[in-house]
Amino acid sequence: MATPQLSEGTVEVAGQSLFYRQAQPGGRAPRLSVLLLHGIRFSSDTWLQLQTLAVLADAGHRAVAIDLPGLGRSKDAVAPAPVGQPAPGGFLKAVVEALGLGPAVVVSPSLSGMYSLPFLFQHGHLVKAYVPVAPICTDKFPAEQYGQVKTPTLIVYGDQDVELGQASLSNLRHLPEHQVLVLQGAGHACYLDKPEEWHRGLLAFLQQLE
């Protein structure tokens, strides 16, 4: 198997420059596009160090991890909404279009829920599948709105995440096409605590989509 091709760069969104890292499968067309978001204490570097970018590319997918506005190497960019409030759905739409991701699988931990949930509800045709990992802002939308979403969803949380894990699950379970992956012994950033289980569960879910 060819070595994954890792690269980094910036993309212009709403007149601002956002940093991103990318891993492409070597020597073949990608099977799926995966957009990796991150929490407030993290950045695209998290997915590089955890090897999630490489694992996805090894499996034949195109993986792109961005640094959200004001964080990581996008710290000079201004967020389109205050932290904890839903951002305009058009923000991630512009990101996906600028990167040429087409319908993408969106992986959304913690803080990034303020971006991914409005995107899912407003531009669902651009979301191939949704992988929320104990995201914030799930309580900002009614059960009826969740019930109208047909996007395949893998809800992920650590069983030690007693706050956001449980709270987000209680709202996200209203998504009709959902599965749940509980990482035992893992906290809020459960992918850091149990990387092998995280990668195995994510790859199995992506395989179902093809």
User: Which two three-digit tokens encode residue 169?
Assistant: 């699950």
Known catalytic membership, residue 58? no
Candidate list 110, 112, 116, 168, residue with the active-site label: 110
Burial group, residue 137, by CB count within 10 angstroms (0-12, 13-18, 19+): buried
- Provide the residue type at 123 as one letter: H
Decide if 74 is catalytic. Answer: no
* Exposure string for 186-201, b = 16+ CB within 10 A, e = fewer: bbbbbbbbbbebbbeb
Query: How far from 60 is each of 101, 129, 185, 193, 210, CA to CA, in Å?
Result: 15, 17, 30, 25, 12
- Which position among 43, 161, 178, 199 bears the catalytic label? 161
Closest to 94 (Cα-Cα) out of 203, 18, 4: 18
Catalytic residue among 38, 61, 178, 188: 188
61 is catalytic: no
Positions annotated as catalytic residues are: 110, 161, 188
